[in-house]
A and B are shown apart, each in its own frame.
Chain A
Amino acid sequence: DVKVTQSSRYLVKRTGEKVFLECVQDMDHENMFWYRQDPGLGLRLIYFSYDVKMKEKGDIPEGYSVSREKKERFSLILESASTNQTSMYLCASIVGQGISGYTFGSGTRLTVV
């Protein structure tokens, strides 16, 4: 089975810190995604990447950046963390064009204080 691993389950960071959320998949998937999930708002797409060094903004990219230097790793960066970025962050990957479904990581619960 495809495995998507998020490096941290829980993180607590201070306002203004630079925060890195890491995601690694082990099945050579081209496409990787970062979502955030908030009560009442559901899942919202932050950024996605369809190849190494390629990225595209999702619905809510403000305050975030991403990095994909290797195919298996997709990093989400909060340049200067703010309290409104407290959320559950979910990474996912998929291969092909609608051929198979998404595989999600177990999520990172980020709290910014």
Chain B
Amino acid sequence: KQEVTQIPAALSVPEGENLVLNCSFTDSAIYNLQWFRQDPGKGLTSLLLIQSSQREQTSGRLNASLDKSSGRSTLYIAASQPGDSATYLCAVPLGGGGNKLTFGTGTQLKVEL
């Protein structure tokens, strides 16, 4: 059974700091990995999707990497801003492929002025 773990569970940083969020998964035979952002009381917004053939994806100040062999992904946020405060979740396909996802429990990020 695929299990996804995110560390740390919560993180508080001063504005401007670069930071790394971690995601690990137990079954490395995955098609892709997706990072989401969730604001309090809202739905999930997709940030980045990394296919299994890729090592990383970038969108603005966000960079996500994928190391299938070690079962790990990182989300790097450069020059953090208060608007980045949210919960960040990673997800991988259940059983490696297909469309059912297994989610991590998330990292709650707070960026302080």
Contact = CB atoms under 8 A, between A and B. Distances in A.
Contacts of B97: 97-98
Contacts of B89: 42-43
B31 A107 contact: no
Given A42-B106, A98-B31, A90 B99 contact: no
Given A42-B103, A42-B105, A98 B98 contact: yes
B43 A43 contact: no
A27 B74 CA distance: 30
Interface in A67-113: 88, 90, 92, 94, 97-98, 100-107, 109
Interface residues of B, number: 24
A94 B99 contact: yes
B100 A48 contact: yes
B65 interface: no
B34 A101 contact: yes
A93 to B, nearest CB: 10
B54 interface: no
B43 to A, nearest CB: 4
A103 B42 contact: no
Interface of A: 6, 31, 33, 40, 42-43, 45, 48, 50, 58, 88, 90, 92, 94, 97-98, 100-107, 109
